[in-house]
Amino acid sequence: MRDEHLQGSHPGHLPPPSRVHGTGRVCEADGCGTKLSMYNPARHCWQHTELSFPSYRGKRLQPGSA
C-alpha cells in the first residue's frame, strides 16, 4: 500500500443566481395564451418571437471549399 498525501481545497464561490423576469407573464401576441418562463426575458413565446440570424465574425468560407 502506498503512503499518499491528499490535499483538499475550500470550495469556490457559487455562481450568481439566474435572473428572474416575473411570474405569471403571458405572450403579448394577439390571441396567444402561452405562459412565459420566469427566466425568459422576452415578451413573446418562441412561436411569436421574430426570427433573427446572428452575425458571426470571422472569415466566411467560399462554397465548396470546406
Opening angle at CA 45, ends 44 and 49, nearest 5: 65
Q: What is the pLDDT of residue 8?
A: 79
Nearest to 36 by CA among 48, 52, 24, 47: 24
Q: What is the pLDDT of residue 35?
A: 97
Residue ranges covered by each domain of the chain = 18-46
Contact between 44 and 28 under an 8 Å Cβ cutoff? The reply is: yes
Q: What is the pLDDT of residue 64?
A: 73
The three cell numbers locating residue 13: 464561490
What are the pLDDT digits (tens) for 9-66? 788 888 999 999 999 999 999 999 999 999 999 999 999 999 988 877 777 777 776 6
The three cell numbers locating residue 63: 462554397
Indicate the Cα dihedral angle 47, 22, 39, 28, nearest 10°: 10
